[in-house]
A and B are shown apart, each in its own frame.
Chain A
Amino acid sequence: MIETVNLTKYFYSKKTIIKAVDNVSLEIKKGEVFCLLGPNGAGKTTLLKMLATLILPTSGTAYVNGYDITKDEIGVKSSIGFVGGDERSFYWRLTGRQNLEFYASLYNLFSSQSKERINQLLNLLEVELYADRMFVTYSTGIKQKFSIIRALLHNPAILLVDEPTKSLDPRAASHLRKFIKEKLSREQKETILFVTHQIEEAKELSDRIGIMQKGRFQVCEKKEDLEEILEINHEEEGN
């Protein structure tokens, strides 16, 4: 479903080279929930944005649903739903429904198709009541649910999710995690790449966990080993 091959991204400033993503090779299988765990600035979002074709790699490549991110941008974008952590990514003076209808057209959904799909998703995420209110009136949790609806509009094979719980209170965050795990993963069989910096969140949600630190990547095959790996990484960093 997702395969990265020596995927690398360096950012060049005047005197330094920042190795945001350093030679990452990973494979995420169909229907898997893969959590990418790491501290702020580890390169998680850069990796996610490369998979979404928003950033071009310095070297290496990745295949998303079989499409090469450097060669088939449209194929990749048709296959993914992107849930960012930024709650501003909607038109606040339009209603939630008007926003979703607008984005549905960017996914090439016809009006009748999109109306039906939007109602279906509003029902799935239990936010029908809010659909015809101005977006600016929503709580952060509801805004985040609309982000997920937007990402699911075109029924994508893969969901790329970037720290969706970072501005939620613990109760709303827990509710969202439960929804992702039960509804999206188990019922809808979505392949999910979930970025977070919270260890417990990664453990709760994932089938497998990948750890990113200073652009480098390693897979944690067993969740029980997670703390140990993080401890070793921390010590190595200290040295």
Chain B
Amino acid sequence: MIVAFLKKGILHEMSYRFAFLLEILSILFFILTFYFITKLFGKVAIPYLESYGGDYFSFVLIGIAFSSYMGVGLGSFSGNLRSEQMMGTLEAMLVTPTRVSTIIFSLSAWNFIYATAEILIYLLLGTLLFGVDISNANIGAAFLILFLTLGSFTGFGIISASFIMILKRGDPVNWILGNVSDFLGGVYFPITILPPFVQVISHLLPITYALRAIRHALLQGYSFKMLLPDILVLVLFCVIVLPLSIFFFKYAVKRTKLEGTLSQY
């Protein structure tokens, strides 16, 4: 089943080849921007980035790469649902014996593969062209953190899709997490430079723990034991948010079927 969705995603993407090429170029220019910002201000940042090795470019490269991955977890379910509603293909899928939840998950499979490829491009360009050092990385821990991050953001993503199913446009979960996560979660700067009361809010977001842990794992090679506090918080997010998201999703499907708006947009 998932293979069919992936094949469809690849074929669809290949019909827009030029867009894919532009995407790679965008990544390159985005990286270049931060490379030169680091050249300009990098030394000022060193004291704030000691626990990450002191290099701002490495810090921000990993922040950007992984925040886009989290963005996929958060936005792909609702985005795909809305896009299939708009294209008119959702109804055709919903009359097949495949479960709604399977359809929603499978629709996002291609986005996750695409986002994984993007992360690899970020890391490859960063290490090969711009000297980012991940030779001491704890790869096993990085994968575990990635998996847990995906779990918690997928949970929020499914809640977001549930809102889209009912409201069609304007889901608050995606808006709040999408808009504040980059700022409060420490994508571009360590949250320790934020005022203390703002840092409290930062600690309510999974991205804060995910980014800190992934940077420590990749740039400093922290051991599992050293990463345990952040890993435990991510596990907690998964345990709470995932079951909640399934509950919301089932409610949304039932409500839209009662209202007769399941495939409307």
Contact = CB atoms under 8 A, between A and B. Distances in A.
B257 A91 contact: no
Interface stretch (A82-90, A124-132, A182-190, A203-211): A82-90
A82 B95 contact: yes
B187 to A, nearest CB: 33
Interface string B27-54: 0000000000000000000000000000
Contacts of B1: 105-106, 108
Given A86-B88, A89-B88, A54 B95 contact: yes
Contact of B97 (A56, A74, A84): A74
B157 to A, nearest CB: 22
Question: Residue among B3, B97, B99 with the most chain A CB within 10 A?
Answer: B97
B263 interface: yes
Interface stretch (B6-14, B129-137, B164-172, B237-245): B6-14
Dominant SS at the B interface? Answer: helix
A54 B12 contact: no
A102 interface: yes
Given A86-B88, A90-B89, A102 B4 contact: yes
B84 to A, nearest CB: 10
A82 B89 CA distance: 13
B98 interface: yes
B258 A56 contact: yes
Contacts of A80: 95
Nearest to A76: B97
Interface stretch (A27-35, A93-101, A214-222): A93-101
Contact of A91 (B16, B87, B95, B96): B87
A101 B4 contact: yes
A55 B262 CA distance: 8
A77 B96 contact: yes
- Which of A11, A98, A102, A108 has the most B CB atoms < 10 Å from its CB? A102
A105 B94 CA distance: 13
Contacts of A101: 4, 7
Interface in B57-89: 87-89
Q: Contact size class for A?
A: 20 to 34
B15 interface: yes
B98 A106 contact: yes
Contacts of B12: 91, 93-94
Contacts of B98: 106-108
B96 A103 contact: yes
Contact of B87 (A20, A84, A88, A98): A88
A181 interface: no
A98 B7 CA distance: 9
A80 B96 CA distance: 9
A197 interface: no
A107 B89 contact: no
Given A54-B95, A103-B96, A106-B1, A49 B88 contact: no
A78 interface: yes
A94 B95 contact: no
Contacts of B260: 9, 11, 20, 46, 49, 54-55
A145 interface: no
Nearest to B254: A56
Interface in B218-243: none
Nearest to A80: B95
A74 B258 CA distance: 18
Interface string B79-115: 0000000011101111111110001000000000000
A131 B173 CA distance: 42
A77 B4 CA distance: 19
B91 A94 contact: no
A86 B254 CA distance: 24
A23 to B, nearest CB: 18
Given A11-B259, A94-B11, A94-B12, A54 B91 contact: yes
B109 to A, nearest CB: 13
16 contacts: A54-B94, A54-B263, A55-B262, A56-B258, A77-B96, A77-B97, A80-B95, A90-B89, A91-B8, A93-B16, A94-B8, A98-B11, A101-B4, A102-B5, A106-B103, A108-B98
Interface of A: 9, 11, 20, 46, 49, 52-56, 74, 77-78, 80, 82, 84, 86, 88-91, 93-94, 98, 101-103, 105-108, 150
Given A11-B259, A106-B97, A108-B98, 16 more contacts: A20-B260, A49-B260, A55-B260, A77-B97, A84-B91, A88-B88, A89-B88, A89-B92, A90-B92, A91-B87, A102-B5, A103-B92, A105-B1, A106-B4, A106-B93, A106-B98
